[in-house]
């Protein structure tokens, strides 16, 4: 929940507001890198400490799932206890959890620390956005939030490359562990800086924490995601299907409870009655499920199927990341204002063209395909991703009132992460089921081509759901 609070002495306290912005951006970079950098390190992690194919899925899904289910609650904790205080708690905990991940000796330990890391990230991230709304005057707000796009785009470009470089460099014999150790200096900078210069911001209403709502959304998410990731390894017993089916009534009860609860619900009840907002949730869920799920299996194909090193896999994905940055600039500077919500569909069409190009390249070149041959299709796919991704939040918030904006932003970000967790679970499970028992390069190639069509199905559904979005975006949708 992003609560804008004007406090006495506003201008006197925030002469160092740009340093506050730098601290918030440092926290954002840590979260973005940890959500993506692990993909290229997955095979190295498994080779070192063991685990199964399912372990690789949980390394990614565990982080984004705990981040998603805790994000709305994390924002509410800032309203209750103060944003600076909760930012410090989140930053300190995230840094310690990163160190614990680096020291993990078994797959179980690593997964537990990844889940903890995601939950603490969900406490840290929403506080920074709320504080920025507080410390910057309205005339500088656009410039401050405008810094997020380039930083997030650069993180996307560098994430796979940095991850691959750190694993391949094997600094001080740390191997894959350096992808977590790199968080320590960044986390300490954010923690010490926040202690010195970040102001305290609290909500005058002092809401209560909706414990039942938090428990329901957590239970529903786990009931859906756990069987998707673990079901293949367990042989899909009947109780797994029952658990997934149970997630539907749990989410229904959560929505019913949020609409009727008095006091401080996790989600503003009025949001659930807006077609544009609920349509935006569906679009985000489908878009990020397809994107995140396929990028995970593409990384695994490069390393496990083609034998690429972590560095080579990271560099092969660089055109995708570069394309996202280019598409984001095109969408933000030109296309969104001219095309309205059709810009999201344009991006999906460009993505579809890139994915078809990828399928054709793999069909033509087979297991002898090179990174240079994959680059054009990856660049086009990335441009489409960037075109669609940047305006999504703005359109989903198009009909949201000012008093609902904070709650809505947190819910949208949570659904983005939940979609990513579902994508990793579902697409990853289908991929590993396809290669199980015969992990040859040809089998990995066939499975990857099939996953292109699975991701394409998500994108077709997302294309149709775009018609539920408002025609114009909300201008301050950050």
Task: Name the DSSP letter for residue 176.
Answer: G
Least confident of 134-143, 159-168, 253-262, 426-435: 134-143
DSSP 230-265: HHHHHT--HHHHHHHHHHHHHHHHHHHHHHH--S--
The band of 476, judged by pLDDT with boundaries at 50, 70 and 90, is low
Length of the chain equals: 478
Do domains 1-208 and 274-478 share one topology? The answer is yes
Contact 60, 424 (CB under 8 A): yes
The string of pLDDT tens digits covering residues 386-435 is: 888 877 877 877 777 756 666 676 787 778 778 888 888 888 888 988 88
**What's the CATH fold of domain 274-478?**
Growth Hormone; Chain: A; (1.20.1250)
> What SS3 class is residue 471?
coil
Indicate the burial class of 434 (C-beta count within 10 angstroms; 0-12, 13-18, 19 or more). middle
pLDDT in tens, 61-101: 888 888 888 887 887 888 788 889 999 999 999 999 999 99
pTM of the full predicted structure? 0.79
| DSSP-derived 3-state class of residue 437 | coil
Predicted confidence at residue 3, as pLDDT, reads 35
Q: Mind listing the pLDDT tens digit for each residue in 33-61?
A: 787 778 788 888 988 998 887 888 888 88
pLDDT in tens, 280-335: 888 888 888 888 889 888 988 998 899 998 888 888 988 988 888 888 888 877 88
pLDDT, position 6: 40
Structural fold of domain 1-208 = Growth Hormone; Chain: A; (1.20.1250)
The confidence band for 242, taking pLDDT boundaries of 50, 70 and 90, is: very high
Contacts of 252 (CB under 8 A, 6+ apart): none
Please give the Cα distance from 72 to 64 (Å, whole number).
Answer: 13
Burial 60-96 (b: 16+ CB within 10 A, else e): bbbbbbbbbbbbbbbbbbbbbbbbbbbbbbbbbbbbb
Give rounded-to-5 percent helix, strand, coil for the chain.
85, 0, 15
Does the pLDDT at position 12 exceed 60? no
Q: CB-based contacts of 216: which residues, under 8 Å, 6+ apart?
A: 250, 251, 253, 254, 257
Where are the alpha helices (H) located in 397-465, listed in sequence order? 405-435, 441-465
Dist CA 141 CA 205 (whole Å): 24
Query: CA angle, 176 as apex, 173 and 181 as ends, to 5°?
Result: 85
Note the pLDDT tens digit of each residue in 449-468: 999 999 988 888 899 988 88
Break the chain into its structural domains and give their ranges: 1-208, 211-260, 274-478
CB atoms within 10 A of CB 228: 23
User: What is the tens place of the pLDDT at every residue in 160-215?
Assistant: 788 888 888 888 888 899 999 989 998 898 899 889 888 887 766 666 778 888 88
Query: Sorting pLDDT into bands at 50, 70 and 90, what band is 145?
Result: low
């Amino acid at each position: 929940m992003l609560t804008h609070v004007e406090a006495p002495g506003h201008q006197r306290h925030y002469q160092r507001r740009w340093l506050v912005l730098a601290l918030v951006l440092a926290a954002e970079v840590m979260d973005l890198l940890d959500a993506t950098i692990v993909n290229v390190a997955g095979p190295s992690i498994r080779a070192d400490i063991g685990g199964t194919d399912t372990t690789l899925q949980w390394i990614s899904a565990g982080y984004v799932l705990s981040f998603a289910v805790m994000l709305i609650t994390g924002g509410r904790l800032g309203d209750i206890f103060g944003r600076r205080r909760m930012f410090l708690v989140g930053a300190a905990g995230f840094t310690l959890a990163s160190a614990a991940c680096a020291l993990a000796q078994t797959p179980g330990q690593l997964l537990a620390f990844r889940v903890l890391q995601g939950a603490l990230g969900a406490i840290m991230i929403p506080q920074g956005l709320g504080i920025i709304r507080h410390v910057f005057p309205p005339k500088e707000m656009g410039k401050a939030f405008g810094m997020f796009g380039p930083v997030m785009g650069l993180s996307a470009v560098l994430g796979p490359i940095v991850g691959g470089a750190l694993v391949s460099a094997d600094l001080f014999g740390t191997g894959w562990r350096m992808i977590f150790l790199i968080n320590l200096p960044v986390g300490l900078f954010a923690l010490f800086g926040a202690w010195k210069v970040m102001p305290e911001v609290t909500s005058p209403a002092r809401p209560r924490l909706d414990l039942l709502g938090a428990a329901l959304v957590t239970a529903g998410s786990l009931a859906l995601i756990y069987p998707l990731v673990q079901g293949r390894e367990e042989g899909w017993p009947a109780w797994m299907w029952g658990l997934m089916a149970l997630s539907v009534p749990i989410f229904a009860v959560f929505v019913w409870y949020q609409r009727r609860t008095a006091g401080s619900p996790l989600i503003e009840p009025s949001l659930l009655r807006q077609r544009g907002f609920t349509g935006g949730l569906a679009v985000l869920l489908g878009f990020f499920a397809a994107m995140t799920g396929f990028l995970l299996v593409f990384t695994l194909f490069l390393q496990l199927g083609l034998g690429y090193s972590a560095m080579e896999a990271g560099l092969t994905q660089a055109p995708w990341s570069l394309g996202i940055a280019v598409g984001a600039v095109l969408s933000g500077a030109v296309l969104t204002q001219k095309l309205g919500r059709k810009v999201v569909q344009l991006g999906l069409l460009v993505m579809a063209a890139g994915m078809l190009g990828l399928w054709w390249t793999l069909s033509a070149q087979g297991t002898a395909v090179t990174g240079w041959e994959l680059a054009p299709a990856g660049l086009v796919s990335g441009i489409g991703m960037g075109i669609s991704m940047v305006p999504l939040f703005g359109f989903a918030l198009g009909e949201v009132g000012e008093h609902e904006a904070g709650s809505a932003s947190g819910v949208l970000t949570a659904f983005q992460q939940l979609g990513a967790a579902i994508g990793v679970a579902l697409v990853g499970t289908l991929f590993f089921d396809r290669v199980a028992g015969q992990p040859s390069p040809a089998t990995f190639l066939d499975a990857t081509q099939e996953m292109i069509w699975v991701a394409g199905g998500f994108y077709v559904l997302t294309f149709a759901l775009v018609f539920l979005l408002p025609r114009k975006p909300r201008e301050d949708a950050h």
